[in-house]
Amino acid sequence: MPRFSSLILTLLFLLQSRTNADSPFPWSPLVFASDFSNVVFTMNPGPEDRQSPWGVAYKLQGDGSLKELYRTAGWYSFEVFVSRDGRNLVQMGPWNSGQVPSSKDLAVAFHKDGKLVKSYSTTDLLKDPGKVSTSVSHYMWRADQDDSILNEQRKRVVPTLDYENHFTLQTIDGWKYVFDAGTGEILESFQFNLSPPAEPVALKNSVSPNGLYEVFLEADKDTPSYKNYKMQADESSRPAFLLFNKKDQLSSARTLFKANVNDGQSPLRNLTNVLWRADSQAVAINTGTLPGNELSLLVWNSQLAKFTEARLPDYEKLTGFPMPDIFLLTRSQSAKTWTPDGHLIYEIKFVPIEEYTGPDPLHHLVELSVSSEGCKVVKRLLLPQ
């Protein structure tokens, strides 16, 4: 319901820009709810002079009453995202006036327990300000405010706050940001595409069993655009895998090529192994060569209507042993296969630089259940002799 309300507000926001008056939408009392809990946030515009807006976060009790958590003051927004524990709020900026982004124009702000922790202006997030869409008196900077995209594409780029408290925002100049909603810090940023890459690199076994999805590689060592990648640790400087819906040609996920891309001259596609689950709801992507494999794991998230990256349990939960305090020569983690009941067989292997005499064999095979809520250990398996 809150996400639906946000979409309606965004559409109203776009529609008003085409009116003759070209004036901001009137302030009014609004209610926003967490997508994952019983927490709501009420937004009140205050007096007509717009000088004293305020808000209140509440938790719905078992008897139907509302318990006040905290109050905010001094700001108003048509679009607020509420974390599942209610402590974090993401405030979207207003309909910014003028034709050019400004450091004074709020894009997004993050609040914790009613206090501002971090904010970004439109110039902080836009790398190509010339891409903004303008009306008579205002400009639009978000990807979901772009006139040129289809409605189906628009649904894929609306801002979202997920269960893990990650806030995703996409700009009109083609950049995607993922924030920690608790701190406001940017966790990752990269360019995104709503259509297949200009030089899609085909991969073996990349089409899902139901034929609906396909995994592409953005670029490879023998494609012209590969020279644009700097191959650093930063995700924005490395090629990535793009998962597309073949029916509507819309991007449903992006994940980095995680292995060492500078390992010889072999094309990256030859260092990639795609393993789809039989129900087409999850895909494992192994990259690299033994003994240095890395794994990306994407799973369908029905709430967000897209694939998201599944998090693996920590080493101790996976193996039953604490993470060894040793220097490693190599580390390998990879998907071996999917079982008939949809579980993933996952292998992890450490090779220490020096002789290791501890109880941990450093080589493990684990059966995992995989869902959008994460991965859980089903059982630990015996390694083949």
* Dihedral of the alpha carbons of 325, 330, 336, 341, in degrees to the nearest 10: 20
Check pLDDT > 60 for residue 48: yes
190: confidence class by pLDDT, cuts 50, 70, 90: confident
For residue 109, give every residue at least 6 positions away whose Cβ sits within 8 Å of its Cβ, in sequence order, or none. Answer: 75, 90, 91, 93, 116, 118, 119, 120, 184
pLDDT of amino acid 198: 58
- 193 or 17, greater pLDDT: 193
Average pLDDT estimate for 150-169: 84
pTM: predicted TM-score of the whole model, two decimal places: 0.56
| The pLDDT value given to residue 371 | 93
pLDDT beyond 80 at 298: yes
What is the predicted pLDDT for the residue at 290? 60
Give the pLDDT confidence of 248-296 residue by residue, as tens digits. 666 677 787 887 766 567 788 888 999 999 999 999 999 887 656 788 9
Q: What is the pLDDT of residues 197-234, one digit of tens each?
A: 556 788 999 999 999 999 988 888 888 777 766 554 44
Block residue for tokens 């899609």 = 200
Residue 55 has pLDDT above 60, yes or no: yes
How confident is the model at residue 165, as a pLDDT? 94
Percentage with pLDDT > 90 across the chain: 48
At 19, is the pLDDT very low, low, confident or very high (cuts 50, 70, 90)?
A: very low
Per-domain boundaries in the chain: 2-191, 213-380
Convert the pLDDT of each residue in 107-145 to its tens digit: 999 999 999 999 999 999 999 888 888 776 788 899 988
Distance CA 354, CA 322 (A): 18
